[in-house]
Each structure stands twice: as structure tokens, then as C-alpha cells.
Structure 1
Amino acid sequence: MFNTGQQVRQNLKDIEPYKPGLSDEQLRRELGNRPLVKLNSNENTLGPSPLAVQAMQAELPKLHLYPDGGSDLVREAIAAHHGVAPSNVFVGNGSDDIIKLISETFLDDSDEIVMPFPSFSQYAFGAHIMKAKVVSVPLKADFTYDVERMLAAVTPRTKLLYLCTPNNPTGTVLRQAEFSWLMERLPEHVFVVVDMAYDNYATSADRFQFEPRLLSRPNLCCLYTFSKLYGLAGLRVGYALGNPEVFSFMHRVREPFNVNRIAQVGAIAALQDVEHVKRSKQLAMQSRKQYEVLNEYGMRCVPTEANFVLVDVGDGVRVFEALRKEGILLRAGYPGLDAYVRITFGTEAENDLCIEGLRRTV
């Protein structure tokens, strides 16, 4: 008799599948047709880029044709956007896809990665698939980076070091001075991945920011996504800026046609949608100010530079469940953050409903 438990790779038993926020379909099955305030997945509440929608609609008659296998036109558009060469751009099926490909490219059994804690779970997921060891370095008490502890965690077995700025789920940023200090001291054998999925929302002048000159470092890669600012989460398009030689090996492990035809067209158009980008950034800034009122009600908001805010509500899961019954969806249950909920910024009206719900519940 075939025994699945014995035949599959044994390390897979210890991997917990990623649990995304509830989808619209799941919520409507659970709550019926009542109004929903969906603030649990860091989606852009303004919707997708209108220019992207227009371009994708025009592309629909070509769905019988395979997409560009190398996403070359997307790479060229991204390269022009950042002022780099197309060879410095790698496009994936969302940044999650790229994180997994990086893991498959670099990691062997018993290698190590260093990552902040708490942070995005997919860094550890990629490592566990490859049977690598995850070394988690706690953030400071104010949820800012402790680069000295991160450096101390590096060993000769360390292959990857992840930085996320603004960090998910805390919204805090890595400072340029911290990044420079770390890179000056980090052993050259460590490949550094800086996840900048939310940097488009950040405003602090002293934060780490990408510049083309950084690509002179062969051991550095910066990740971006079209899911947040551009509102294209349903398309799954992400990209990396980094070393072409590293990318040449990542191409060896990626799936052919890993970015679909419609997604490629939408991504290219979204880069040109200046008005949508402006509105999305303005809404995030307004929302940050809107949620500051929670501090007056005894709920501490962690200062954020993203399109979400982490709030201390005493018991995150209890508050999550209570507001869920009202059709207000937040995120809770992060390891080490039992007292907190993460709230994605919505429209002004959605934010007001959430704030009122928190006042009643906490």
C-alpha cells in the first residue's frame, strides 16, 4: 500500500502552509451579503490602477497566446522606472515566488538564513522547504531593527539575510545608517535580500532607499511588488533588482511562463499611472493620521510608514473575532504579537467604522 507519510519529503511535515487573510468569497459565504470592511490583507482599497485595467482589457483577445517567457518588456519598463539595466531586473509571480526561487537557488540542507522577528513568514517558508535553518533576530522593543544582533547572528553557514522595510507586520523602517553599518561589516558570502514591498508608501528621509549605485554590491537584491501601491494583488507580479549573475541561476529554477500575459501588460501600464499612485500615497498618509486617535483611547499604534498599522488592543485574537462578527476584518495571531491586530488602511469611511468598532470592543 502506498504510504504518503513515508514517501513525501519528511521536512514538509514541519511546514505550516501560509494562511492568507480571508478572501471576499470566504467572507460572503460566512457573513452573507452584509457590508464588509476588509482591512486584513494590505490590499489597496482604491482598487487597481485604471490604466492597468484598460491595458489588460485590450489584451484579452490574445489569451490564446503564451506570454513572453522572460517578461522582457516588463523588465525593460521596470529598468527605465528605476534607472537600471534590464539585466538587473528579475520578474516573478509575485515577490513570494521570487523569495522561494532565491531559497531554491542558494540553500542546501543545514544552511542558515537570518531574518528579523516578527516579519514576513515567507522568508522562513522558503528556508524550510530547502531544509535550511532559520535564525530569527528579534526587533527592538519599539519594533525597529537591531542590526548589531543581526550581524552577531551570522555564521559561516549563513547564506541569506533578509531585511523588510517597512517591515510587515510592524510598519517600521530600516534606516540608511543602519543598512550601511550592517553592510560594511557583513561577511561577503552572505546574500542580502531587502524586501521593499511597502517602501512606496514610506516618507522618512533617513530610511533605506534604493539607488542604482547599490547594484555595485553583488550580494544585494531588493524586492518590489505590484500588489500594494498599484492595486494589482490579484495578478501576482513582483520583481527584484540585483545581480544579473545571481538572476541567471534563478532562471534555472523558475517555472517557464511564470508571469501570465495579462499580468505583464497590467504591470507595464501601472508604472505609468501617476494619478493612481498619487491618490494611493495620499490615502495612506491621511489614514495614518486618522488612526492616531486610537492612542487617546488607550490603544498604542506603532508608528508606521506602510499602508497598515499595528495596534496594541490587549488581546488580538479576541478583538479580531469580535469585529469579524460585525463584518470588519483585521489580522491577528502573529507569533510574538498576541496583544496586537494589524489593520490595513481603507477609505476614510471604512477607517471610521473600524475605529468605532475598536472603541466598542477594546
Structure 2
Amino acid sequence: MKLKVAHNISTLVPYPPGKPIEELEREYGISGSIKLASNENAWGPSPRAVEAIKEALQNLHRYPDGSCYYLTQSLARKIGVKPEEIVFGNGSNELIGLLIAAFLQPGEDVVTSHPTFLMYQKLVQVQGGSNTVVELSADMRHDLKAILGAVSPKTRMIFLDNPNNPTGTIIDRHEFASFMEQLPQDIIVVLDEAYVDFMAPELRIDVLDYIRRSRPVAALRTFSKAYGLSGLRLGYGIMHAEMAGYLHRVRQPFNVNSLAQVGGVAALEDDEHYRMTLQKSREGIAWLSKEVAKLGCRPMGTHTNFFLIDVKGDSRQLYEHMLHQGVIIRPMEAYGYPEYIRITVGRAEENQRFIAALANSLKELGYA
């Protein structure tokens, strides 16, 4: 087929999503697997959300509310923002694309870190922009000083995931304030806060303070992690109303489906399930870190529902060995950490199975 395809599209490498459990089990001839690889919520969605979704199924012949009115009102009350400062999307992924579509011209530059969420750079390339990539510091944190040094007259946006994926590290709020003071005020800073629910409140950056001072800062959040609604694809952005208005101009109509909207409202009302998720995640991370250290590995600190482990050996080989035991983890060689794995906290029985499988693999591979 003779197609004329722009160079920025023909050279684009597709995002590699994690394989579902069913596919991996077919491929490796195993069953009864557990998946601790995709930073999902092991306790699932709120029962209230599930019931609300069931009740909404009879209305699937109707288009969803294009303005997400009830979800917007509910969220605005919950987090203390104005409704016009919220934009909902088909996952926070869509919000990344909308920001780039609205504010980045071909040839302009976006600064990101490495490693980080891969979609920032891919969507910049789709738009015809250029990527400037700054390595994380030696302690696996965003190097704000180096990012400032990478800013040029062509720089239009900066993406910072806070907490960072895959390291689980965070940006110090005082260092961020200093960073913002030195940054040209016309550069948009996007804080991807997909895992912010797992952070201690006193460590979070006060995004609203910057919005109230009319700084071009946007925070992206999701219902996929703490609220356990990954399958519905529901995310949102918090930003100045003027910025939000431009995103509404470029977003698709009906971009958030009706089940996501009713599920989101119900999830926001279930504080008990939300608090349980955070508490069990903290407890699971603490237990796993202690047990991993007993095996001779080095667990890294985290502010999320996942953490890195230095296994002191080839992480890809360890991944394959554990996969044959029905335990799915994420090797980190593609992120520049060839001796690290990343695991998501699971339920108690899943965590115990992971430790048993890890101990067996470390022994058989000779890592410990």
C-alpha cells in the first residue's frame, strides 16, 4: 500500500501495554496466576460504584452527558475547586493529549524526565513537537535544576509525574516552589498526580495555590488507582478555568462514557472503601519491603502503591523465572534499571505468594 505518512508518525513506536493475565497464561501454559505488574488496585472498585454501574446499564442506548455535570459537581465539592477548573477525560491519558493538542505547536519543545510515563513523549511526537529528555538524579528523583537548564526559547511545556513512575519518588514541595520562581511564566507545567492519593497530604504540592495565582500549572489525576476503576478509563485535570476552556475546545464530545460517570460519582461517595485501599496499600508495602530485605534484595522507598526492588541480578531473567511460577511482575531494564523489578502491592495472600516465588527464583538463579 502506498501511503504518504508524516515522518513523526511513521517513526512512532507504539506504547507497549502490559499483557492481560489470560494472554500470559495461554502463552506460558500456566494457570492461577497473580498479576503485580500494572499498579492496579488489588481491592477493586467500591461496591457502591459497582451497583451504580449495574443500575445504569439499562440506559446504554442513550448518549452520555457530554458535560459530565453530576460528576463535575461531585468532584468539585470533594476537592474544593470550582467546576470550571475541572476537565474530565477518557483516562488521564486523554488529558495529556488534550494539553499537547491545545498548547503545543509543531516544532516547539517539551521537557520530560527519564524514566517516566512513556506517553508524554509519544504524544508530543504525534503533534510534531520535539522532546528534550532529562535523566532522573542519582537518587531517582526529578532533577529540577537540570530541567531548568534544559529550558530553551522553544520550550512550551514541562511534564513531571509526581510521584514518579516507575521509581515512586516525589518532588519536594519547597524545591518545586523555587523551581517555579525561576521558570518563565509562559511555560506550562503539568503535574501528573496519578498516584497522589497514596502520598501523605503534607507532602503534596498545593496545585490550587498556583492556579489561584494564575500560573499555568495543571494537575492530572485518575480514578484508575486509588478508586480501582481502571477498566472504565476515567481521569481528570485541575487547572485555571481559562486553560480548561481551551481543552474543552479540542476534546471530543461524549469523551467520558456514562458508566464511568455514574461509577465515578458513587466512588467519590464511598470514603470507607477509599480509606481501606490506602491503609491496606501502606500495610502491604511495609510488609513486602521487610520480607524482600530478608531475602537479600534492596527495596526502594515509595509514595505509591508500587515500589522498586534491586534484585542484584538480571531482572528480565528473574521475570521469566517467576512467570513460570504464575507470578507476574515488571522488569525494569527498559527503563534503564536492569537489576530492578517493580511490583504492585497486592492482597495479603498475593504478597505472600510473591515472596515465596521470589525466594525460589533468587535461589535457583543464584542471585542470593
TM-score norm. by structure 2 comes to 0.93
CA shift, 1:310, in A, is 0.9
CA shift, 1:252, in A, is 2.1
CA shift, 1:212, in A, is 3.0
* Partner residue, 2:93: 96
DSSP 3-state at the match of 1:137: strand
Residues 33 and 323 of structure 1, relative CA distance in 2, 3 Å threshold: closer
- Equivalent positions of 1:9-88 (< 5 A) are 9-31=6-28, 34-88=31-85
Identify the match of residue 256 of structure 2 among 250, 256, 259.
Answer: 259
Superimposed CA distance per residue, residues 183-202 of structure 1 (whole angstroms, 9 cap, x where no aligned partner): 11110121000011101011
Q: Does residue 316 in structure 1 map to residue 315 in structure 2?
A: yes
CA distance in 2, matches of 1:243, 1:201: 24
DSSP 3-state at the match of 1:194: strand
Q: Assess if the C-alpha contact under 8 Å between 2:207 and 2:218 holds in 1.
A: no
DSSP 3-state at the match of 2:16: coil
Q: Does residue 212 in structure 1 map to residue 211 in structure 2?
A: no
DSSP 3-state at the match of 1:334: helix
DSSP 3-state at the match of 2:325: coil
Superimposed CA distance per residue, residues 224-272 of structure 1 (whole angstroms, 9 cap, x where no aligned partner): 0000001000000000000221222212221111100011000111011
CA distance in 1, matches of 2:77, 2:113: 31
CA shift, 1:32, in A, is 5.3
TM-score norm. by structure 1 comes to 0.95
CA distance in 2, matches of 1:108, 1:317: 39
Q: Assess if the C-alpha contact under 8 Å between 2:207 and 2:217 holds in 1.
A: no
Q: Does residue 181 in structure 1 map to residue 200 in structure 2?
A: no
- Equivalent positions of 1:224-263 (< 5 A) are 224-263=221-260
* Partner residue, 1:347: 347
DSSP 3-state at the match of 2:112: strand
Superimposed CA distance per residue, residues 121-174 of structure 1 (whole angstroms, 9 cap, x where no aligned partner): 111111111121111111121212321111111111111111111111101111
Q: Assess if the C-alpha contact under 8 Å between 2:30 and 2:324 holds in 1.
A: no
CA distance in 2, matches of 1:354, 1:298: 15
CA distance in 1, matches of 2:139, 2:319: 23
CA shift, 1:297, in A, is 2.5
CA shift, 1:204, in A, is 6.8
CA distance in 1, matches of 2:245, 2:59: 29
Q: Assess if the C-alpha contact under 8 Å between 1:20 and 1:41 holds in 2.
A: no
CA distance in 1, matches of 2:34, 2:136: 30
CA distance in 2, matches of 1:211, 1:165: 12
Letter in 2 for 1:97: E
CA distance in 1, matches of 2:23, 2:215: 44
CA shift, 1:33, in A, is 6.6
Letter in 1 for 2:183: L
CA RMSD in angstroms, aligned pairs only: 1.5
CA distance in 2, matches of 1:129, 1:353: 41
- Equivalent positions of 1:132-143 (< 5 A) are 132-143=129-140
Letter in 1 for 2:107: S
* Equivalenced residues, count: 358
DSSP 3-state at the match of 2:316: helix
Give ranges in structure 2 of 5+ residues lacking alignment.
Answer: 363-368
- Equivalent positions of 1:119-134 (< 5 A) are 119-134=116-131
Percent sequence identity over matched residues? 37
Letter in 1 for 2:182: R
CA distance in 1, matches of 2:206, 2:49: 25
Letter in 1 for 2:337: L
CA shift, 1:50, in A, is 1.0
